[in-house]
Amino acid sequence: MSNVYDFDVKDRFGNVVSLSEYKGKVLLIVNTATGCGFTPHYDPLEAMYRELKDQGFEILDFPCNQFADQAPGSDEEIHEFCTLKFGTEFPQFAKIDVNGETADPLFAYLGTEKPFKGFGKGLKNAALNKFAAANNKKYGDKTYIGWNFTKFLIDRDGNVIDRFEPTVDMGDVKKAVEAAL
């Protein structure tokens, strides 16, 4: 695959969607969960989406239950939670796996293009690193994503230009998105 536009994914209704539909837009592709300590990231994500969508920005939300079973609901239950609690309007896709033999090809590609380099420094980050390492051990060399709310920034040509772990300040994520726009 040469860029993200070469991938097809399933929307929350099970319909196949070609990411080529997003050609020319700056994308932030995120694996999410409804019961994670990082779930409040939905607030700044939605605020960023509302502010920047008219400039050609899209957030693509992919729920995943591979991290401590923090997204256990159905696609519909997850969608209802996100819209009722956080008012999300950006596209939400079907729940997927992001690691292991069953990893969605899009996330295997993203994780290969911008590999995990750790959660950063500090006590919280060190604790998450340890917890994530134990959780992800079962995926071996097919561990592409370290934890929920990992974000990949895609330029208007479909190239992966940055990766943000969930521990990265959302203000820094927004600055990178604005620079890409």
Q: Are strands 16-18 and 26-32 parallel, antiparallel or unpaired?
A: unpaired
Whether 64 sits among the annotated catalytic residues: the reply is no
Task: Output phi, psi for 55, to 5 deg.
Answer: -95, 10
User: Tokens in use for 37?
Assistant: 């300590």
- One-letter amino acid for residue 114 of the chain: K
Dihedral sign (CA 132, 133, 138, 143): positive
Catalytic residue among 29, 30, 36, 132: 36
Distance CA 58, CA 49 (A): 7
> Which residues are tagged catalytic?
36
